[in-house]
Amino acid sequence: MSAAIIDGKKLAAAVKAEAAAEVQQLKEQGVVPCLAVLLVGEDPASQVYVRGKANDCAECGIESRVIRLDAATTQEELLARIDALAADDAVHGILVQLPLPAHIDESAVIAAIPPEKDVDGFTPVNAGRLLTGEPCFAPCTPAGCLRMIQSTGIDIAGKRAVVVGRSNIVGKPAALLLLAANATVTICHSRTRNLADICREADILVAAVGRQGFITGDMVKPGAVVIDVGINRGADGKLHGDVDFAAASEKAAFITPVPGGVGLMTRAMLMKNTVAAARAALERQQ
Ligand code: GUN
């Protein structure tokens, strides 16, 4: 069997088109959705990500404000910037690009973002709401994974889903989103025993480990949906996922490529969250 490829580029374009249509509606009601992005320091990958986010905003008709701060910015200065954006009614989403310089306490900074402007879904309030099943901003990468799984047309309810990776940004929220969609979910990590056996039971396999080729072909159940969140720079200088794509695509029914997969969906879901934040702000006023 050779797996069908879940085309992140095409799906991200569809999600952004949805966001753009919603932006049009909001503009007709006098609201221009606005995303503020705070970037501290010169991390090259972060610079690329932030540029990409600003481009996506422009494409969707969302206003973006990129605030670039010196690497020596103090935590107090950064918190003051967040407070100012929190108080600014024209700003609907606030995103602090991670990682932050080592002298800044990431948790304290994230917690300072008002939950209603937390379009990354990283604050403890939104994480708690995701856990309890209340309306919330779900983190963009796992939300993009779910959208990719749904795009295959499979019924998630009752399926065995295995998430490899337990980060707060991807693994844990991916598991919660799959659980909310009624999958039977297992989270695996570096201390998991019999990882290959567990992965082989997965109708839906989400790989978010950060190690090139970690998921080998023998770990994939025939007919599975394989979602590869990994973005690893290989010795060949190219980007590779966490999944051995060639081997896994012989077994899977559906698989995401790297590049051209989940990464594009993350940014598209950020646009959706920003639009949702703007709409919610308008509804609070009415
Ligand atoms: N750094 C890497 N990925 C992300 C992301 O999704 N959001 C933020 N804020 N920082 C990141």
CATH number at residue 145: 3.40.50.720
**73 shares its domain with 160:** no
Amino acid symbol at 198 = I
Question: Is the Cβ atom of 96 under 6 angstroms away from ligand 1?
Answer: yes
Residue range 104-129: mean pLDDT, rounded = 98
Percent of the chain with pLDDT over 90: 99
| 85 plus 173 within the same structural domain | no
Domain that holds residue 190: 140-263
Residues 6+ positions from 253 with CB-CB distance below 8 Å: 1, 3, 4, 152, 223, 224, 225
Q: Is residue 257 part of a domain?
A: yes
- 120 catalytic, yes or no? yes
120 CB under 6 A from ligand 1?
yes
Atom of ligand 1 nearest to the CA of 98: 10
Q: Which helix (H) or strand (E) holds 57?
A: helix 44-60
Same domain, yes or no: 146 and 216: yes
> Are 234 and 145 contained in the same domain?
yes
pTM score of the predicted model? 0.97
- pLDDT confidence band for 16 (50 / 70 / 90): very high
Average pLDDT, the chain: 98
Angle at 186 between CA 182 and CA 188, to 5 degrees: 150
One domain, residues 191 and 251: yes
Tell which one of 35, 169, 229 to mutate to probe ligand 1, the residue whose CB is within 8 A of the most ligand atoms. 169
Query: Cα(178) to centroid of ligand 1, in Å?
Result: 21
Please count the structural domains in the chain.
2
What pLDDT does residue 1 have? 64
Distance from residue 153's CA to the centre of ligand 1 (Å):
28
Same domain for 79 and 190: no
CB 167 within 8 A of CB 121: no
- 161 shares a domain with 57: no
Provide the CATH number for the domain around residue 99.
3.40.50.10860
Same domain, 97 and 172: no
